[in-house]
Structures are given as structure tokens and as C-alpha cells.
């Protein structure tokens, strides 16, 4: 089962490429300029983690009942495909709807989290991005928010950059407010010294965020913004060779 989850998903990559083309064809979308690694250089690895899965659906959309685990997977596959286009080798913790536990296994949630940690530890990743959806008691709260581990200055730097991009491209126009990246004591952020962030893409307790994140085009634009800023942050000044400016 683990080998399945580690497999690169060519179909997802193709799907992401098609959606990227669709997104770029839209005049309403600003095209980010991204750092692209020179051909022939070793490709840095990045882990893209779709939160929850299987029996653990995460939070649920209040309007439609959509499961966080399914939306996380959709965003993660898009993001991973785009990061591969950017020159990364992408390791997905899961590339299907199931969780990382075995049928009949006891303590499924802890087994799932342990396997995610193992994947991160073995990946040699230069960064980890974990995709989640948020919820809050006040349904008016909306927008994307980024978390990092307090002990990691590089995690904080990546989180700040991602949050700044999401504030610029989504939070002010859509949510009417900005967020600051926040420190969080989360297991998934503590499995490597490489910068690791959790991106809470929006609040499924808010009808507008739920509608947006249930929309394929919105998810593609969101993933594109994420891929752009993450590629820029993880390749600039990296030991992985000459970095040149390019576009998707």
C-alpha cells in the first residue's frame, strides 16, 4: 500500500498540466513568474501531504457535506503536478482517497500519521507542504491560513512567503481580510529539518469558501499560486544548481 502512495501519479500530473493551461488561458488570472531549475540538474524532492483520508474525513462542509479529505487530495494532486513542472520530484503521502493504514490494523490514526512521518523522513525532501481545510464556530470566518513549527526559522520563512502570496491573491479579494502565518505544535511539521508548512486552504464552515474550494477552477488557481511561491522559495539560493527565471 505504501508503494502505491509513493508512486508518482502521471495521470494527476497530466490533469494538472491541462488545468494549468486552462487557468493560464484565463485573462483574469495573474501569471506568476517562477524559478525553474536548469535541465540536467538533480531534481529536489518535495513532499505534498493531503491531510486525512479513508476513515478520517477531516472537517465537513456545512452547505454540501463535502469531505475535507477529498478536497485536500484534489488540491494536493494539482499542486504536486505543478511542482513537478517546476522541476521538483514530488512524493505524495497519499495519492488516493484511502488513509495510510491497513484493514484491521489497530490504532489507524496513529498508524496513518506514523507512515506519513516515515515517508517524509525517507524522502530527503527540501520542503513539506501539508494541505488541509479549516473550520470555525463563527461561519463568517473565511480565508487561507498557513502554519509552521516555531522551532524552524526556515519553516517560518516559507510560511510567511506562502501566507503573503495567499493574502495577495485570495484573502483580500475573497475573504476581506489577511492572515499572518502562525506557529503550531503539529506532528506533520516536525518530521524533518527542511521547511514544512500546513496550508489551510479555507473554512468549510463558511459557505463562500466551501463553494470556492468545491470548484475545480478555483482549486486550480489556488494550487497555481501555491506552486509558484513554493517553487520560488525552495529554489532561490538552493544547493540544487543554477536557478533561472521562467514561467509555467
Q: Which residues bind Zn ion (CB under 5 A)?
A: 51, 58, 132
Q: Which long-range contacts (CB under 8 A, 24 or more apart) does 31-34 make?
A: 31/247, 31/248, 32/224, 32/225, 32/228, 32/229, 32/232, 32/247, 32/248, 33/228, 33/245, 33/246, 33/247, 34/86, 34/227, 34/228, 34/231, 34/232, 34/245, 34/246, 34/247, 34/248
CB of residue 21 vs Zn ion: minimum separation in angstroms? 30
| Closer residue to Zn ion, CB minimum distance, 88 or 147 | 147
Angle, to 10 degrees, between the axis of helix 153-166 and the axis of helix 216-235?
140
CA 237 to CA 233: how far, in whole Å? Answer: 9
Supply the angle between the helices 216-235 and 68-85 in degrees, to the nearest 10.
Answer: 50
Q: Minimal distance in Å, beta carbon 141 to Zn ion?
A: 16
- The nearer residue to Zn ion, 19 or 120, going by C-beta atoms, is 120
For Zn ion, give the closer residue by CB, 9 or 72: 72
What residue number has its CB nearest to Zn ion?
132
Query: In whole angstroms, how close is the CB of 40 to Zn ion at the nearest point?
Result: 38
**Nearest distance from residue 128's CB to Zn ion, in Å?**
15
Toward Zn ion, which CB reaches closer, 132 or 221? 132
Tell the smallest beta-carbon distance from residue 51 to Zn ion (Å).
Answer: 4
Q: What is the DSSP string of 218-240?
A: HHHHHHHHHHHHHHHHHHTT-SS
Please say which residue, 132 or 142, places its beta carbon nearer to Zn ion: 132
Judged by beta carbon, residue 60 or residue 183, the one nearer Zn ion is 60
| Nearest distance in Å: CB 131, Zn ion | 9
Amino acid at each position: 500500500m505504501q508503494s502505491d502512495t509513493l508512486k508518482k501519479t502521471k495521470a494527476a500530473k497530466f490533469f494538472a498540466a491541462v488545468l494549468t493551461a486552462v487557468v493560464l488561458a484565463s485573462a483574469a488570472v495573474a501569471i506568476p513568474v517562477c524559478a525553474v531549475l536548469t535541465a540536467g540538474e538533480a531534481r529536489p524532492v518535495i513532499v505534498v501531504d493531503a491531510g486525512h483520508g479513508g476513515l478520517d474525513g477531516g472537517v465537513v462542509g456545512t452547505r454540501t457535506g463535502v469531505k475535507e479529505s477529498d478536497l485536500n487530495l484534489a488540491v494536493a494532486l494539482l499542486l504536486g503536478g505543478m511542482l513537478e513542472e517546476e522541476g521538483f520530484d514530488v512524493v505524495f503521502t497519499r495519492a488516493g482517497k484511502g488513509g495510510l493504514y491497513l484493514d484491521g490494523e489497530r490504532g489507524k490514526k496513529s498508524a496513518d500519521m506514523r507512515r506519513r512521518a516515515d515517508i517524509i523522513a525517507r524522502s530527503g525532501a527540501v520542503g513539506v507542504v501539508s494541505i488541509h481545510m479549516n473550520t470555525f464556530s463563527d461561519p463568517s470566518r473565511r480565508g487561507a491560513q498557513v502554519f509552521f513549527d516555531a522551532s524552524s526559522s526556515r519553516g517560518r520563512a516559507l510560511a510567511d512567503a506562502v501566507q503573503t502570496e495567499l493574502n495577495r491573491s485570495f484573502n483580500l479579494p475573497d475573504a476581506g481580510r489577511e492572515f499572518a502565518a502562525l506557529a503550531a505544535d503539529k506532528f506533520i511539521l516536525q518530521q524533518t529539518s527542511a521547511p514544512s508548512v500546513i496550508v489551510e486552504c479555507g473554512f468549510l464552515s463558511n459557505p463562500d469558501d466551501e463553494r470556492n474550494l468545491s470548484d475545480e477552477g478555483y482549486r486550480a488557481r489556488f494550487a497555481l499560486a501555491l506552486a509558484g511561491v513554493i517553487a520560488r522559495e525552495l529554489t532561490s539560493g538552493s544547493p540544487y544548481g543554477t536557478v533561472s527565471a521562467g514561467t509555467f
